[in-house]
Amino acid sequence: MKILPPLLDSFLERIEPVISNERHQEPLHALRLRGKRLRYIMEMYMPAYKRPFKDCLNTVKEILSILGRIHDLDVNLPILRQHVRQVRHFNAGIKDRTLKIPTTGLRTLIHRFEEERHKRFLLLCDLFLQRKQEEFRQRFIQSIR
């Protein structure tokens, strides 16, 4: 399968920019898109290979699952922050404290999302380092021979 090694290399070359900076969303998204391409092709060829190939596919799926959740958080956090700003702006025009809308719940949710994103990023880094130690590319290539 000549298509699989280049797809894998395209995916793996995007890992370093991701783990080198937690806050850059674009490299994360680019890695996710390349991983999806790899995953879909691997799933198509799955019946032709044995267990080691399935193990590699499961690793790619695990990485994509984490990347997907990080992406969801990256999309939702700015929306929640904007909502808090809008509520605060609304509250600024109200003199009666009993009529003001509290932002405590939203701020708590934002904090939880930020913590979750950080934990998922660390998990992703650990997973990449672990797979690197296992020489994931070599295992992958061996699985398609």
Task: Say if residues 15 and 128 touch (Cβ distance below 8 Å).
Answer: yes
Cα separation, 81 vs 126, in Å, equals 29
Task: Give the span between the Cα atoms of 9 and 29, in whole angstroms.
Answer: 17
pLDDT at site 45: 94
Model-level pTM? 0.89
Residues 76-106 as b or e (16 or more Cβ within 10 Å = b)? eeeeeeeeeeeeeeeeeeeeeeeeeeebeee
Task: Examine the pLDDT at 41 and tell me if it is beyond 70.
Answer: yes
* pLDDT at 133 > cutoff 70: no
Domain residue ranges in the chain? 4-143
pLDDT of 126 strictly over 60: yes
Give the C-alpha distances (Å, rounded to integers) separating 90 from 7, 66, 97.
Answer: 50, 36, 12
Average pLDDT over residues 1-29: 90
Predicted confidence at residue 55, as pLDDT, reads 94
Q: What is the mean pLDDT of the chain?
A: 93
